[in-house]
Amino acid sequence: MKYKIVNLLRDIFPFFITLFLWRLSTPYLNPSGILAIIPIFYYSFIRPTPYFTGYALLFCFLLDYKFNTVLTWTIFYSIYYVVMNIQTMLDLTHTNKNGLYAFLLFAGSVIFFIMLTHVGWTSIFMSFLMFITLSVCYIPITHIAKAVNHD
Amino acid sequence: MSPKKTSSRLHTLIKTAFVAVLLPIFFVYIVVAKPDYNIMNGLSHIVFPIAHGVGNVITWPIRATGRFITNIHNISKLEQENEELRTRLYEALANKNECEVAIIENQKLAHELDVVRETNYQSVVADVIYNNSATHHGTFIINRGTNDGISRGMVVVSFDNTMAGIIIDAGYDFARVRSLIDSDTNIAVRVAGSEVYGFLRGNGSSTATLGFLSDHKFQVSPNIKLVTSNISGVLPPDIYVGQTKNETDVEVQTPGHLSRVIVLKFNAQGKYK
């Protein structure tokens, strides 16, 4: 019974952490719940989890809703998902640092695209800050995920 | 290759094909549905409250701790704030008589000029539940929606009667507001006490930008007050927007300073209900 509960908690953790980070949005540190993109990326590409793709799409959509960026995160996520699953050259499930560089490429390209829609000093600064925040938080969050999943 | 591995690969390919089919749908939708995105907003009216509700439950301990710390911090500032408020109250009382005289004079002049202005409007008080300031976007979400009669296009003001934003989407019990600092904001304004009109544009920073003045000879100096103009028939007139900081920058309400707001109900013709 005890193990069943533990396994259940382990199974729902990816869904839980995504919602948790999305809900705890706060300007500057977690604008519009952007940190939720870390578990979305990790559980979609680095450690694929059953039934997570639909959930990830939904939360990309919710990120877009809060950001007021019409389907940008959703479309970029879809593109990455399709590209990563079609190609056979790169295997992100076996990369160093939990796929940090792949994540930075993904997040960086979306943030850069959003920044390009309105170029200004504030926009550049805020985009840079968001990128730094994501870069710094990626390793701790994925380490927690790894610890929970006993990887 | 084992049958299990083949099945897993097939499953991944089916999922990938499904997501790949979604992509052109998304692109076509963005082009076709602009600027209202009714389907997208409609979907969010279902998904957002559920995610928000479940998120509220699982993040409750963190948010409760955060609130507790904020309250402790606020209590320590109460004495100083009380002193400041007393000073402001005395100043306000000093101005009260002057304002009352001005209002009476204004009513008299409006009556003489036969200007009829309906100001008996309905309003709804709402709490800010999300501040979504990010990059050049500055939206926030309030906890009142269509259930309280709120609809797209209504004006949101702060408790000191300064314009805070415009409702851009309303769900059943929540609404999304675009603040004046959002880069998509572009509203018609008037220089208070004159007939000089202009446009106020957000740029993501804490100030908005004033431009396209109707009178090119008009010199913008600091501390000029701006009010809304119904020149385009979108906004009701004479709502205080902010004051100039220099030639182009205007100090406006930012989402970070708002915890509770008032939504003014008015119809598309700019008349208050």
Question: What's the pLDDT at A76?
Answer: 94
Question: What's the pLDDT at A59?
Answer: 95
Which A residues 71-130 touch B at CB under 8 Å?
71, 74-75, 78-79, 81-82, 85-86, 111, 114-115, 117-118, 120-123, 126-127, 130
Domain ranges across chain A: 2-149
Question: What's the pLDDT at B268?
Answer: 47
* Chain B: residue whose CA lies nearest to A126: B135
- What tens digit of pLDDT does each residue of B109-128 get? 877 776 655 555 688 999 99
- Rounded Cα distance between B79 and B76, Å, is 7
- What tens digit of pLDDT does each residue of B53-107 get? 999 999 999 999 988 998 888 888 888 888 899 988 988 888 888 888 888 888 8
Q: Looking at the domain covering B123-273, what would its CATH class be? A: mainly beta
- What tens digit of pLDDT does each residue of A70-115 get? 889 999 999 999 998 888 777 777 788 888 999 999 999 999 999 9
- The chain-wide mean pLDDT, for chain B, equals 85
Tokens of B178: 């675009």
Q: Do B135 and A34 lie within an 8 Å CB cutoff?
A: no
Question: What's the pLDDT at B217?
Answer: 82
Question: What's the pLDDT at B9?
Answer: 77
Rg (alpha carbons) of chain A, rounded to whole number: 15
Domain ranges across chain B: 1-34, 41-116, 123-273
Q: Do A75 and B47 lie within an 8 Å CB cutoff?
A: no
The residue that leads in pLDDT, A21 or B79, is A21
- Residue A58 CA: distances (Å) to CA of A110, B77, B229: 17, 42, 39
ipTM over 0.85? The verdict is: yes
Residues in chain B, pLDDT under 50: 1, 268, 270-273
Question: What's the pLDDT at B121?
Answer: 64
Tokens of B127: 């709490």
Q: Do B20 and A24 lie within an 8 Å CB cutoff?
A: no
Interface test with B, best of A122, A126, A133 (most B CBs within 10 A): A122
| Eight-state DSSP code of residue B200 | E
- The chain-wide mean pLDDT, for chain A, equals 90
